[in-house]
Structure 1
Amino acid sequence: MPLPMYALIVPAFTRGFTALDGLLGKAEAFATERGMPLAELFDARLAPDMLPLAGQIQRASDTAKNAIGRLTTLEAPRLPDDEQDFAALHERIARTMAFIETVKPEHLDGSETREVTLSFPNLKVTFSGGDYLLQFVLPNFYFHVTTTYDILRHKGVPIGKADFIGHLG
């Protein structure tokens, strides 16, 4: 039986970006209540060698849109990593979600067997589409969504598991 690619991709990305947008909203409200400069959250990171909050959202966006582009014949939008404030991060999430909304199940038909090659500085990896999704895309996407949550939680933003998981039912 073929891997249900659409069912694995579109709902996961939609839920993740909805959660990210909600987390940003709570972070903005928290900063406003505390008189904290938004830049303190925008530039926050968990460790010196990790990307800041903005970079985490950019990578989640890149992972989602580029995965769709690699697994379909749809052209992924190019979004420069130049966001300078929360409004721009919200806009990036909205643009990424708008692209995801264009994906139809038939776009992903047969994509589980499509060959996808990724090149890293010292490594080139070729996956089947299904392995690419399960071994790289979803873990990478959730890493960046989770790290965004962790940065905000670390900075004191009052968020919890329900903010990450989203509405059930």
Structure 2
Amino acid sequence: MSLYDSSFPQMTRMLGQVLVWLDKAEAYAQKKKFDPEVLLAARLAPDQWNLRRQIQNVIAWPLRLGALLTGAELPQLETGDETIAELRARIGKAIEQVKAVKPEQLKGAEDRTIPLFFLPGKGMKAPEFVFGFALPNFYFHATTAYSILRHNGLDVGKSDFIGSLDLRDL
């Protein structure tokens, strides 16, 4: 499976699931009569990022990966106090940007050494970077965001995390 097929379609689908979680968060807050923006400050542990920052990282990873694998400029991670509406807009824009990455743009990326933005002067071969670092980080932040919402009482389950499946008759 190519680097493209193993990452970008799944990341796009997960970004779409984050929108589902935000829908459920707003419905839950409306039902319980509290401001849904309160959830953005929620966290699982005092030393862990809050929901807002987790979602910002879920948004950032596909964009970073696209830039690193195509040789484009690395996007800046936005970490401001965005509202749910602003996060939704950024997710929508990110989905468009990720869908704009085409498999042919990654031709030869398997041989590229990806510079590590957090360790100047160090890098990883692209496949190891994708499977050993980028995807685990992406799913770590997605799982943590999901868990924060679940911990705060949202009725979300595995199907809300995974999304729809492409089922076929046997």
Q: Is this a same-fold pair by TM over 0.5? A: yes
In structure 2, the CA distance between the partners of 1:79 and 1:132, relative to structure 1 (3 Å rule), is closer
| Counterparts in 2 of 1:134 and 1:15: CA distance versus 1, 3 Å | same
Q: Is the counterpart of residue 28 in structure 1 residue 26 in structure 2?
A: yes
Aligned to 2:116, the other structure's residue is in SS state: strand
Percent of aligned positions with the same letter in both sequences?
Answer: 38
Residue 83 of structure 1 contacts residue 89 of structure 1 at CA under 8 Å; is this kept in 2? no
Question: Which residue of 92, 103, 106 maps to 2:104?
Answer: 106
TM superposition shift of 1:14: 0.9
Quick one: distance in 1 between partners of 2:43 and 2:122?
29
Partners of 1:33 and 1:88 in 2: CA distance: 22
1:125-164 matched pairs, under 5 angstroms? 125-164=122-161
Displacement after TM superposition at 1:86 (Å): 0.6
Residue 50 and residue 79 in structure 1: after superposition, are their counterparts in 2 closer, same or farther (change >3 A)?
A: closer
Structure 2: gaps spanning 5 or more residues: none
Q: 2: CA distance between counterparts of 1:78 and 1:126? A: 19
Are the counterparts in 1 of residues 8 and 62 from structure 2 also a CA contact under 8 Å? no
Q: Closer, same or farther in 2 for the Cα pair 1:77/1:94, shift >3 Å?
A: farther
Q: Is it true that 1:41 corresponds to 2:39 in the alignment? A: yes
The answer to whether the 8 A contact 1:19-1:165 is kept is yes
- In the alignment, does 2:54 pair up with 1:56? yes
Cα distance in 2 for partners of 1:115, 1:18 equals 30
Following TM superposition, where does structure 1 have runs of at least 4 consecutive aligned residues deviating by more than 4 angstroms? 75-79
Equivalence for 1:87: 85
Moved more, 62-71 or 111-120: 111-120
The TM-score normalised by the length of structure 2 is 0.91
Match of 1:81, SS state, is: coil
Paired with 2:102 and 2:117, the residues of 1 have a C-alpha distance of: 28
C-alpha distance in structure 1 between counterparts of 2:76 and 2:114, whole Å: 19
Contact 1:77–1:99 at 8 Å: present in 2 too? Answer: no
